[in-house]
Amino acid sequence: MTEPLIYDLGAPGRFAVQMPEPDVPLTEMPALIVRDELNLPEVSEIDIVRHYTRLSSLNHSIDKGFYPLGSCTMKYNPRINEDMARLPGFAGIHPLQDEETIQGALFLTFVLQEWLKEIGGFAGVSLQPAAGAHGEFAGILMMRAYHLDRGDTKRTKILIPDSAHGTNPASTTMSGLEVLEIPSDERGNVDLKSLRAACDDTVVGLMITNPNTLGMFEEQIEEVVGLIQNCGGLVYGDGANMNALLGVARPGDMAFDVMHYNLHKTFGTPHGGGGPGSGPVGVSERLLPFLPGPIVETIQPGDTNDEGDLAETPHHRLVMPEKSIGRMTAFYGHFSIFVRAYTYIRMHGPEGMRRIAEHAVLNANYLQTLVSKIFPIPFGNRACMHEFVAEGKVKGSDVRALDVAKRLMDFGFHPPTNYFPLIVHEALMIEPTETESRQTLDRFAEALAQIAREAVQDPELLHTAPHCTPIARLDEVRAARDLVICSWGQSG
């Protein structure tokens, strides 16, 4: 059954909410600018509840089953975090309230800044950016501002490995800089020879994902960082894969200048069907003055406060870093996501952080071992980190990674990321995360084994998969050609 559109559920004059009558005298409306049409649904509350409940049942979600979507870190989202974010003392505060009335929120924000600094090994953190790509953009703007501030105007290039997420080059373009792509070597690392050839005094810096999108730790990370810094460039770390490094290694210790964290990947905050995320940036000492702001600083007893008096109690205030690249969002970033991440880190502690990374990597290696008996794994001759990339190809069959992905849905699993990274043909990028049990991983590998057998015995079954989902494969070409993007059909 297809779920009707909400516009088709109602009836003229039906409504779901009753607002109070005005308790003040009425003012005459400026008739010229008052509208008379407004095409919104006219439905009752039960229509709404049933409609969205039925829609929700059409989704796969972490709550429903395994979600090994590579690069997305689909780990369990703890329920307690949701309750904490909804406490009225957090949900009901206005961003422009007097700082004295939001000291709890500023304290929490400050502490989270400090914890992220410690976890990443950085000198400073700003929680402004709203998502990973937004953090990348902030990072590149800071790198650009740093060079300009030193009067170094020749630098226009950002070096990016060919295995990088698409957001890396896109963020570079938005910053008004050029992208120079660097190939990978046969072990999945950045190709040092090509990198060396690209390093000169026009380089703003390098964007590197470590572990990279193949799930491999960059074995020559010290040489890579050295080459960039010797030519006067800065190193940007894409923190998308930080789940593998919690308590294991700190990018700041490896002389990275800037990195974004994805709170919605590494720190268990929900993905929300495509956001809201949160993409704080951490920086080394030399980039501190350029951080996006405002950020929170603490005043200790004995420090001078805003009025020039000595402070008696510790308190927190919002400040704009000295040479800040500016605001990334209208206010302070995604505060309710900070509350969730704070709760998560608070319940893990230092040992817990390391346990997360250890089990994420244990799960990935265990699953890689099982999957390597079924599908080729191009860089599988070494231990992976939190994820690995298989090739969705079966000897003696014409099935593709897409077919394997779609067939997995029939077994109740969300497919891995496919066709990324671009440097592996027919890529199936698999990230199990630490919150999955061994039984789940075993069942997933068994499903893949069965699919590989089907690929030879009955390839058509895969070509036409999925068969057990609410809907079959969709005509994407038609969607782009006819472009119906609004309930009243081909508008415009």
353 binds other proteins (CB under 8 A): yes
How far apart, in whole angstroms, are the C-alpha atoms of residue 295 and residue 335? Answer: 12
H/E stretch holding 133: helix 132-149
Output the furthest CA–CA distance in the chain (Å, rounded): 81
Under rule CB under 8 A, residue 423 binds other proteins: no
> Is residue 310 close enough to count as binding other proteins by CB under 8 A?
no
Q: In whole angstroms, how close is the CB of 126 to other proteins at the nearest point?
A: 12
CB of 272 to other proteins, least distance (A): 3
Site for other proteins in 54-93 (CB under 8 A): 55-64, 67, 69, 72, 74-78, 80, 82-93
Q: Which residue has the tokens 């010797």?
A: 230
Strand partners, 304: 310
Contact between 97 and 334 under an 8 Å Cβ cutoff? The reply is no
List the beta strands (DSSP E) in 275-351. Answer: 281-283, 295-299, 315-319
Distance between CA atoms of 296 and 318, rounded to whole angstroms?
5
Radius of gyration for the chain, computed over Cα atoms and rounded to the nearest angstrom:
26
Number of neighbouring beta carbons within 10 Å of residue 5: 11
Output 186 or 471, the one with its CB closest to other proteins.
Answer: 471
308 belongs to the binding site for other proteins (CB under 8 A)? no
**Is the separation of the CB atoms in 214 and 379 below 8 Å?**
yes
Region binding other proteins by CB under 8 A among candidate stretches 97-105, 228-236, 297-305, 453-461 = 97-105
Q: Which one among 288, 358, 391, 411 touches other proteins, defined by CB under 8 A?
A: 358
Q: Using CB under 8 A as the criterion, what x/- string covers residues 424-443 for binding other proteins?
A: ----------xxxxx-----
Q: At what angle do helices 401-409 and 438-457 cross, to 10 degrees?
A: 120
- Asked whether position 122 contacts other proteins by CB under 8 A, the answer is no
State the Cα–Cα distance between residues 356 and 347, nearest whole angstrom. Answer: 12
Q: Near other proteins by CB under 8 A, which window of 304-312, 345-353, 393-401, 446-454?
A: 345-353
One of 123, 191, 366, 449 touching other proteins (CB under 8 A) = 366
C-alpha closest to that of 306 among 93, 97, 98: 98
From residue 200 to residue 219, the character string flagging contacts with other proteins as x (rule: CB under 8 A) and all else as - is ----------------xx-x
Alpha-carbon distances of 295 from 287, 305, 343, rounded to whole Å = 14, 16, 20
Range 17-36, binding other proteins (CB under 8 A): 17, 19-20, 22-27, 29-30, 32-35
Q: Does 336 bind other proteins (CB under 8 A)?
A: yes
Residues 370-409 that bind other proteins (CB under 8 A): 370, 382-383, 405-406, 409
Between 94 and 395, CB nearer to other proteins: 94
Question: Counting Cβ atoms within 10 Å, is residue 479 exposed (0-12), middle (13-18) or buried (19+)?
Answer: exposed
Does 322 interact with other proteins (rule: CB under 8 A)? no
Contact 389, 70 (CB under 8 A): yes
The residue (of 18 and 300) whose beta carbon lies closer to other proteins is 18
The correct pick among 123, 202, 276, 289 for binding other proteins (CB under 8 A) is: 276
> Smallest distance, Å, CB 263 to other proteins?
11
Least Å distance, CB 396 to other proteins, is 26
| Identified binder of other proteins from the candidate list 123, 248, 449, 461, rule CB under 8 A | 248
In the bound state with other proteins, the residue whose beta carbon lies nearer, of 64 and 425, is 64
Q: Does 319 bind other proteins (CB under 8 A)?
A: no
11 is a site residue for other proteins (CB under 8 A): no
Confirm or reject binding of residue 448 to other proteins (CB under 8 A).
Answer: no
Piece in contact with other proteins (CB under 8 A), picked from 281-289, 349-357, 388-396, 423-431? 349-357
Are residues 384 and 215 in contact, defined by beta-carbon separation less than 8 angstroms? yes
Three-class SS of 191-236: CHHHHHHHCCCCEEEEEEECCCCCCCCCCCHHHHHHHHHHCCCEEE
Min CB(397)–other proteins separation in Å: 21
Stated as kind and residue range, the H or E segment containing 182 is strand 178-182
- CA 375 to chain CA centroid, Å, is 28
Q: Which C-beta is closer to other proteins: that of 44 or that of 397?
A: 44
| Residue 281 engages other proteins in binding (rule: CB under 8 A) | no
Which range of residues in 195-203, 295-303, 365-373, 449-457 is near other proteins by CB under 8 A?
Answer: 365-373
Count CB atoms within 10 A of the CB of residue 1.
5
- Which residue from 231, 258, 328, 341 is in contact with other proteins, where contact means CB under 8 A? 328
Of 234 and 405, which has the nearer Cβ to other proteins?
A: 405
Identify the residue whose tokens are 């809907």: 471
What would the x/- binding string for other proteins be over residues 131 to 170, using CB under 8 A? Answer: xxxx-xx---x--xx-------------------xxx-xx
Residue closest to 217 by CA, chosen among 364, 356, 418: 364
